[in-house]
Amino acid sequence: MNRLFTILCVGLLFMGLLGLLGIIFSYSCLDSVDSKTSDIIPVYTYKVVNTYPHDQKAYTQGLAFENGFLYEGTGIYGSSTLRKVDLETGRILQICKLPQKLFGEGVTIHKDKIIQLTWRSNVGFVHNKSSFELKRKFNYSTEGWGITSDGKHLILSDGTAVLHYLDPDTFEEVGKIKVQDNKRVVSKLNELEFVQGRIYANVWKSNWIAIIEPRTQKVVGWIDLEGLLIRKELSNPAGVLNGIAYDAENDRLFVTGKMWPSLFEIELIKKSTAAPDIGK
- Measured CA to CA, the distance from residue 181 to residue 213 in angstroms comes to 10
Angle at 56 between CA 50 and CA 61, to 5 degrees: 85
Separation CA 15–CA 27 (nearest Å)? 19
Q: Give 46: exposed, middle or buried? Use CB within 10 Å, 0-12, 13-18, 19+.
A: buried
- Mean pLDDT for all residues in the chain: 86
pLDDT value of position 275: 64
CA–chain centroid gap for 165, Å, is 13
The β-bridge relationship of strands 162-166 and 154-157 is antiparallel
What's the confidence (pLDDT) of residue 137? 97
Check the CA dihedral 216-220-226-229 and report its sign. Answer: negative
pTM of the model: 0.84
CA 124 to chain centre: 19
Mean pLDDT of 97-122: 97
Q: Which domains does the chain have, with CATH numbers?
A: 51-272 (2.130.10.10)
Give the C-alpha separation, 131 to 112, whole Å. 10
Exposure b/e, 169-208, CB count within 10 A at least 16 = b? eebebeeebebbbeeeebbbbbbbbbbeebbbbbbbebbb
208 close to 174: Cβ distance less than 8 angstroms: no
Cβ distance 148 to 154 under 8 Å? yes
- Taking the C-alpha atoms of residue 49 and residue 30, their distance in angstroms, rounded to an integer, is 41
What's the rounded mean pLDDT across residues 167-176?
96
Give the mean pLDDT of 40-61: 95
**139 vs 244: CA distance, rounded Å:** 24
Going by pLDDT thresholds of 50, 70 and 90, the confidence category of residue 229 is confident
Q: Measured in Å, how far apart are the chain's first and last C-alpha atoms?
A: 71
Tell me which of 24-28, 230-234, 269-273 is least confident: 24-28
Q: Is the pLDDT of residue 165 over 50?
A: yes
Residue type, 7: I
**pLDDT of the residue at 277:** 65
Higher-confidence position of 33 and 56: 56
* Nearest of 85, 88, 91, 79 to residue 114 by alpha carbon: 85
Q: Is the CB of residue 62 less than 8 Å from the CB of residue 147?
A: yes
Give the count of alpha carbons within 13 A of 126, CB side only.
14
Q: Does 169 score more than 60 pLDDT?
A: yes
**CA pair distance 147, 159, nearest whole angstrom:** 11
In the sheet that 60-66 helps form, which strands lie side by side, from edge to edge? 60-66, 69-74, 81-86, 92-97
pLDDT of residue 230: 74
Lowest-pLDDT choice from 33-37, 40-44, 224-228: 33-37
| C-beta neighbour count of 99 within 10 angstroms | 10
Return the closest-CA partner of residue 73 out of 110, 111, 112, 125. Answer: 125
